[in-house]
A and B are shown apart, each in its own frame.
Chain A
């Protein structure tokens, strides 16, 4: 593969090595990019990994969205580049306005770390291009504030425009319409609360995350060959 994936690290991010490792295990080439960096030139995909950027203080992602790197992420997204926000990364993308809605505290007011059923709802995104609608993947979730919320008008739009990417089969946190992940209008920016990187190794249990990250690498690879360096 020729694709290079940028994995952004904010102070407090903690899943970056897991994401890099999972992508490497699938044949990808991923690098850590510090949040202070202003350029993402040369990268074919961007991942905002999970963790607790800035301790999740004030609101998860509220401070991280102002990091210098986020302007580059916005430009990359506007140009159609694949961007994936996992868990805390999803929270950063919503705070940054790159995805609609917001993530609130889980309805049960507890942190939840478990593996659960996630249904693929659309294949129009870089993450789900290799899946089929209706596929149920067993993926780990790990969050206190994963309760997706948006107003009625936004929800109607998301449904009409095929922008709900994943739903929980057994809603663990009260998310509206069981939403576990959404994408932007173009379909190139995806945010999801589950952690695909935690489901890529048979030694650890489920490998259902591999199809998602593999799809991302495939799309990034196509992009890397098409877009002049």
Chain B
């Protein structure tokens, strides 16, 4: 089966995030108040061939630990969103 997986990669707490800071600073001038703690990370989507959801999660976790996130500065959440219908799967 094919599963859609979403991996959210974030900077670990305490690591400086100049992108997040810049975005946060720009908000008041755009008329937004009361917004803070902006952190910019990455969202990586993949489709995984696996017998079931749990196996897909395990594989995705392994890929994340090995490649998608750098543990020195990043942490990540892996979320299996669901099976991909066969007709929609990209060849």
Contacts and interface: CB of A to CB of B under 8 A. Distances in A.
The answer to whether any beta carbons of A and B sit under 8 Å apart in the complex is yes
Interface of A: 58-59, 62-63, 66, 94-95, 100-102, 104-109, 147, 149-150, 174
Nearest to A94: B72
Contact of B19 (A63, A105, A149, A150): A105
B43 to A, nearest CB: 13
Contacts of A100: 72
A108 B19 CA distance: 9
29 contacts: A58-B67, A58-B68, A59-B70, A62-B67, A62-B70, A63-B67, A66-B67, A94-B72, A95-B70, A100-B72, A102-B70, A102-B72, A102-B73, A104-B16, A104-B73, A105-B18, A105-B19, A106-B18, A107-B16, A107-B18, A109-B18, A109-B19, A109-B22, A147-B16, A149-B16, A149-B72, A149-B73, A174-B16, A174-B18
B15 interface: yes
A59 B70 CA distance: 8
Nearest to B67: A62
A63 B72 CA distance: 16
Say which size band chain B's interface belongs to.
10 to 19
A62 B69 CA distance: 9
A59 B15 CA distance: 16
Interface string B6-25: 00000000011011001000
Contacts of A59: 70
Query: Max chain A CB contacts within 10 Å: which of B15, B16, B22, B72?
Result: B72
A75 to B, nearest CB: 20
Nearest to A97: B72
A106 B22 CA distance: 13
A38 to B, nearest CB: 20
A104 B40 CA distance: 13
A106 B68 CA distance: 21
Contacts of A63: 67
Contacts of B68: 58
Contacts of B18: 105-109, 174
Contacts of A58: 67-68
Contacts of A101: 72
A63 B15 CA distance: 22
B19 to A, nearest CB: 7
B67 A150 contact: no
B15 A149 contact: yes
Contacts of B22: 109
Contacts of B15: 104, 149
A96 B35 CA distance: 37
B23 to A, nearest CB: 11
A174 B16 CA distance: 10
A13 B16 CA distance: 28
Interface string B32-69: 00000000000000000000000000000000000110
